[in-house]
């Protein structure tokens, strides 16, 4: 398969998006180029999806996500060469978002205002959560798998926890999750078109409070301040960042220009922190505990069914861009019981099942192009990244989607029966095998995990291949 011409691809996307002057912001996640446009009417989604190298175009709350694949960073570099894109103010994008929201509301009134507004609100929340966690994923994967490296060092290399080599990697692993509120605060504020550095500042303040508040009762102007371990939860900093962003944008809009530089950041933090520590922080902590307990209750009632549901539905979560919205649940479970027996555990067989389905398509493909695309997507999915397979194979041909869902569902069912779990945060798949090794070095969970994923691959491959043959037979008969 010929190497991609990223410069030509970037130019095609820019032209299709209405030119450089119409692009307000450009960013990217692991597989998608994300653009916000000043005038969305200049973009034709149907035509954009015909651009060679674009697997799918998804619109979420005024943001246009071009699904490219794991090489999206190389495409993004071409966008960085256009300095006009990065210097275009976010105020224009905020106006566009407001205009889009008004258009959506006007349209929804004709179909049923109450239901449409509820649906839009839910989509906005999920899109915000997913968009907040997406840029942080590289940090989570690197830090999470470092914990698995530590297990490998002590189990197979005989490295002592007191050894300097162990401690260096331990610092890396612990810093990732201890300072997670800073990363989340930055990303959330940036997602809300606010000041990302103030979001990080809020996260740092929460951590400093947890470290230095002590155990004695504390109050602020007579309001009791609950002591919360903010390093082990993400909901408080998310709620605080939402409040911060609303306040920041309000001050930016109403304060005289010559006073903004000094007084907007100062007033924002002087109000946000006293609101977050006594009110929003404890509320977020309680919400996080409720979420963890709720999903744990579901898992404890019927573990196989709960994990199977995740395995069955993961391709759809990826398709709608909502897979990253599950991270708060994941972290709540990790904080509660020290591992994740539900979210990543269900996604692991689902991801590799996508790989199995794609490889079945490649095996039966009649053209070199189809075989090349399906093979590349299949191998990528086995490693835990499924967007190329979902958009490029599963939802374009449909029968591989059925195979992947059956393989992922049966794999999840098996994982629930056998008590499979994932000990660190990583992209669920074969490449993250170390994430399934227990901290004490025992390998039983690893054996179970690999067996479950292998089963999911085999089932999805067989089902997809059979369905593909049947589909090809129907086409031949119709001709």
What is the predicted pLDDT for the residue at 91? 28
Rounded-to-integer distance, Cα 182 and Cα 180, Å: 5
Provide the H-helix boundaries in 6-89.
6-16, 45-48, 72-80, 83-87
**pLDDT confidence of residue 138:** 80
> Which residues, at least 6 apart from 450, have a Cβ–Cβ distance to it below 8 Å?
430, 433, 436
Domain shared by 253 and 392, yes or no: no
Q: What is the pLDDT of residue 433?
A: 87
Which of residues 88, 113, 135 is at a domain's end?
A: 88
Percent of the chain clearing pLDDT 90 (strictly above): 33
Token pair 């820019």: residue: 14
The counts of H helices and E strands in the chain are 20, 6
The string of pLDDT tens digits covering residues 396-417 is 888 999 999 999 999 999 999 9
Tokens of 141: 């994967």
Can you give the C-alpha Rg of the chain in angstroms? 24
- Beta bridge partners, 67, equal 32, 56
Token duo for residue 138: 């590289």
Q: For 133-189, what is each residue's pLDDT tens digit?
A: 778 878 877 887 787 788 888 877 888 888 898 899 989 988 888 898 999 999 999
Residues 282 and 320 in one domain: no
Residues 310 and 456 in one domain: yes
Q: 392-428: buried (b, 16+ CB within 10 Å) or exposed (e) per residue?
A: bbbbebebbbebbbbbbbbbbbbbbebebbbbbbbbb
- pLDDT recorded at residue 295: 79
Least confidently predicted of 278-287, 374-383, 385-394: 385-394
Enumerate residues 6+ apart whose C-beta is below 8 A from 104: 116, 120
Count structural domains, the chain.
3
Q: Give the C-alpha separation, 173 to 161, whole Å.
A: 13
Phi, psi of 422 (to 5 degrees): -120, 130
Q: How far apart are CA 308 and CA 389, in angstroms?
A: 20
If asked whether residues 363 and 434 sit together in one domain, one would say yes
Mean pLDDT of 390-395: 84
Whether residue 330 sits in one domain with residue 428: yes
> Nearest Cα to 401, choosing from 332, 471, 341?
471
What 84-91 contacts at long range (C-beta under 8 Å, 24+ apart), as own/partner pairs, is: 84/20, 84/21, 85/20, 85/23, 85/25, 85/26, 86/25, 86/26, 88/21, 88/23, 88/24, 88/25, 88/38, 89/24, 90/24, 90/25, 90/193
Q: Which two tokens stand for residue 37?
A: 């446009």
Average pLDDT over residues 55-80: 83
> Tokens representing 344?
């990543």
Q: Is 292 in the same domain as 362?
A: no
**Residue 60 domain-assigned?**
yes
279 within some domain: yes
The answer to whether the CB of 326 falls within 8 A of the CB of 137 is: no
145 within a domain of the structure (yes/no)? no
The more confidently predicted of residues 438 and 108 is: 438
- pLDDT for 323: 74
- 108 lies in some domain: no
- Taking the chain, what is the end-to-end CA distance rounded to the nearest angstrom? 30
For residues 446 and 444, give the distance between their C-alpha atoms in angstroms, rounded to a whole number: 5
More confident residue, 111 or 192: 192
Task: Identify whether residues 218 and 240 lie together within a single domain.
Answer: yes
Where do we find the tokens 């709350």? 61
Count of CA atoms in the C-beta half-sphere (13 A) of 122: 8
Do residues 24 and 96 make contact, with C-beta atoms less than 8 angstroms apart? yes
Residue 147 CB: number of other CB atoms within 10 A?
A: 23
> Does a structural domain hold residue 121?
no
Nearest to 248 by CA among 182, 197, 180: 197
Report DSSP state, residue 392: I
pLDDT reported for residue 356: 96
pLDDT score, position 89: 27
At residue 201, the pLDDT reads 97
Q: Does 306 map to a domain?
A: yes
At which of 237, 264, 297 does a domain end?
Answer: 297
* Among candidate residues 65, 88, 111, the one where a domain is terminated: 88
Per-residue pLDDT, 467: 92
At 174, list the tokens. 């612990």
* Predicted pLDDT of residue 328: 81
Q: Are residues 280 and 306 in the same domain?
A: no
pLDDT band at 268 (very low <50, low <70, confident <90, very high): very high
Q: Verify that 226 and 183 share a domain, yes or no.
A: yes
CA distance to 173, 368, 397, 469, 479, per residue, from 474 (Å): 53, 22, 14, 9, 9
Domain extent, residue 401, equals: 302-478
Q: What does the pLDDT look like over 461-474, one tens digit per residue? A: 999 999 988 876 66
SS3 233: coil
Q: Which carries the bigger pLDDT value, residue 336 or residue 10?
A: 10
Q: Let me know whether 233 and 252 are in one domain.
A: yes
Q: Domain containing 42 — which CATH number?
A: 3.30.1360.60
Q: Report, as an integer, the average pLDDT of 408-432.
A: 91
Closest CA to 185 of 218, 169, 219, 208: 208
Tracing tokens 């374009």 back to the chain, one arrives at 396
What pLDDT shows up at residue 3?
Answer: 63
User: Residue 390 and residue 403: Cα distance in Å, rounded?
Assistant: 12
DSSP letter assigned to residue 3 = P
In this structure, the answer to whether residues 206 and 79 fall within a common structural domain is no
The reported pLDDT for the residue numbered 99 is 37
Q: What confidence tier does 347 reach under pLDDT thresholds 50, 70, 90?
A: very high
Residue 168 lies in a domain: no
Q: What is the pLDDT of residue 38?
A: 87
- Taking phi over 0 as left and psi of -120 to 50 as alpha, with beta for the rest, 19 belongs to left
Any idea of the CA torsion for 308, 390, 17, 42, to the nearest 10 degrees? -70
Instruction: Give yes or no for residue 109 having a pLDDT over 90.
Output: no
> Which region, left, alpha or beta, applies to residue 112 given φ > 0 means left and ψ of -120 to 50 means alpha?
left
User: Do residues 354 and 404 make contact, with C-beta atoms less than 8 angstroms apart?
Assistant: yes
Residues 316 and 287 in one domain: no
11 Cβ neighbours under 8 A, 6+ residues apart:
none
Q: Is 131 within a domain?
A: no
């Amino acid at each position: 398969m010929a190497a991609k011409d990223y410069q030509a691809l970037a130019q095609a996307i820019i032209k299709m998006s209405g030119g450089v002057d119409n692009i307000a912001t450009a960013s990217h996640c692991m597989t998608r180029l994300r653009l916000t446009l000043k005038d969305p009417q200049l973009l034709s989604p149907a035509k954009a999806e015909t651009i060679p190298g674009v697997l799918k175009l998804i619109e979420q709350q005024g943001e246009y996500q071009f699904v490219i694949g794991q090489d999206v960073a190389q495409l993004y570099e071409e966008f960085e060469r256009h300095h006009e894109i990065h210097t275009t103010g976010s105020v224009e994008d905020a106006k566009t978002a407001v205009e889009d929201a008004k258009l959506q509301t006007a349209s929804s009134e004709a179909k049923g205002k109450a239901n449409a507004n509820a649906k839009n609100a839910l989509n906005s929340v999920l899109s915000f959560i997913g968009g907040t966690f997406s840029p942080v994923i590289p940090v989570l994967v690197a830090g999470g798998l470092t914990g698995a490296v530590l297990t490998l060092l002590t189990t197979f290399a005989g490295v002592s926890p007191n050894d300097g080599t162990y401690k260096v990697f331990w610092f890396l692993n612990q810093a990732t999750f201890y300072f997670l509120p800073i990363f989340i605060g930055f990303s959330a504020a940036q997602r809300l078109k606010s000041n990302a550095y103030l979001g990080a500042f809020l996260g740092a303040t929460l951590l400093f409070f947890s470290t230095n508040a002590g155990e004695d009762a504390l109050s602020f102007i007579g309001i009791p301040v609950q002591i919360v371990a903010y390093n082990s939860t993400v909901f408080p900093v998310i709620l605080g960042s939402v409040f911060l962003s609303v306040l920041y944008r309000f001050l930016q809009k109403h304060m005289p220009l010559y006073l903004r530089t000094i007084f907007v950041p100062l007033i924002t933090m002087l109000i946000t922190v006293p609101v977050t520590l006594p009110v929003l922080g404890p509320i977020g902590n309680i919400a996080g505990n409720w979420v963890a307990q709720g999903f744990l209750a579901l898992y404890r009632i019927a573990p196989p069914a709960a994990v199977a549901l995740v395995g069955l539905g993961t391709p759809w979560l990826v398709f709608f861009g909502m897979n990253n919205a599950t991270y708060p649940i994941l972290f709540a479970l990790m904080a509660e019981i020290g591992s994740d027996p539900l979210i990543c555990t269900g996604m692991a067989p689902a991801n590799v099942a996508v790989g199995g389905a794609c490889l079945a398509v490649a095996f039966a493909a009649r053209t070199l192009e189809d075989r090349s695309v399906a093979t590349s997507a299949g191998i990528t999915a086995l490693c835990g990244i499924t967007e190329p397979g979902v958009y490029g194979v599963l939802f374009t041909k449909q029968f591989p989607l059925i195979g992947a869902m059956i393989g992922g569902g049966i794999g999840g069912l098996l994982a629930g029966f056998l008590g499979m779990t994932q000990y660190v945060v990583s992209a669920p798949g074969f490449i993250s095998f170390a994430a399934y090794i227990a901290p004490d070095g025992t390998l039983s969970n690893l054996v179970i995990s690999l067996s479950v994923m292998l089963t999911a691959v085999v089932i999805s491959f067989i089902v997809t291949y059979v369905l593909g043959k049947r589909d090809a037979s129907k086409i031949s008969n119709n001709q």
